[in-house]
Amino acid sequence: MLACLYGLTLAGCKREERDFHGDAASADTTASVQLTELVPGLPPSIEPSASAAGPVRADFEKVAFHLSEGQRLYEQFNCVGCHANGGGDIGPPLMDDVWLYGASPEQIYASLAQGRPNGMPAYGRKLSRQQTWQLVAYVRSMSGLTPKDAAPARNDFTQSVPPPNSTPATNPVSGPNPSPTAEHGSR
């Protein structure tokens, strides 16, 4: 019983951990591998900058602060315009179990930083590493892949899906590429 309580307290502490000193908006090596011509908010002439790769911050998703920051960034960086509240729009749904480019935190990090060929912009030079990990955590919470105790309990807008902490957990599977002619890729 005591051990159980102790465990809960520990988990609770982790959940409230905050990291206010994330790195500045610049990129790491993953971002220099760019898979798309779409670079949001920057003129296309600027080449991606390379710097040391950041640590794998999968542990971000155990922290409520990072998850709610991710939720805010998801709206502010216009992810919502292309993926809706996870149900998909221009881009594929993010609330389901199908992943084109992988569901692990590292794979999602790469999707965000590098962009993906069929229309996912490369955010590597727009988002800091911290912001990117926060977004990764929030994206995973949309399909129930993050701990329930840390996932956001409410959404910021009325027209939405049930909040991530009541999203049933899914079993990620890799899906087909939706493009009819993936062989073209980018030029």
The residue ranges that bind ligand HEC (CB under 6 A) are 74, 77-79, 81-83, 90-92, 94, 99-101, 108, 111-112, 116-121, 123, 135, 139
The two tokens of residue 134 are: 């926060």
Nearer to ligand HEC, 63 or 120 (CB): 120
Tell me how far, at minimum, the Cβ of 83 lies from other proteins, in Å. Answer: 9
The residue (of 147 and 175) whose beta carbon lies closer to ligand HEC is: 175
Closest CB to ligand HEC among residues 30, 118: 118
185 binds, among ligand HEC, other proteins, none (CB under 5 to 8 A by kind): other proteins
Shortest separation between residue 73's beta carbon and other proteins, angstroms: 10
**Smallest gap, in angstroms, from Cβ of residue 27 to other proteins?**
16
Nearer to ligand HEC, 14 or 107 (CB): 107
Contact 165, 153 (CB under 8 A): yes
Closest approach, Cβ 30 to ligand HEC, in A, equals 14
CA distance 35 to 120: 9
- Going by C-beta distance under 8 Å and a sequence separation of 6 or more, which residues neighbour residue 164? 67, 71, 138, 141, 142, 144, 146, 151, 152
**Percent helix, strand, coil in the chain (nearest 5)?**
40, 5, 60
Residue 112 contacts which entry, other proteins, ligand HEC, none (Cβ below 5-8 A, type-dependent): ligand HEC
Q: Count Cβ atoms within 10 A of the Cβ of residue 64 and give its class: 0-12 exposed, 13-18 middle, 19 or more buried.
A: buried
CB 127, CB 52: distance < 8 Å: no
> Could you tell me the smallest distance in angstroms from the CB atom of residue 82 to ligand HEC?
3
Residue 100 interacts with which of ligand HEC, other proteins, none, CB < 5 to 8 Å by class: ligand HEC
Q: Measured from the CB atom, is 57 or 132 closer to other proteins?
A: 132
Residue 147 exposed, middle or buried by CB count within 10 Å (0-12, 13-18, 19+): middle
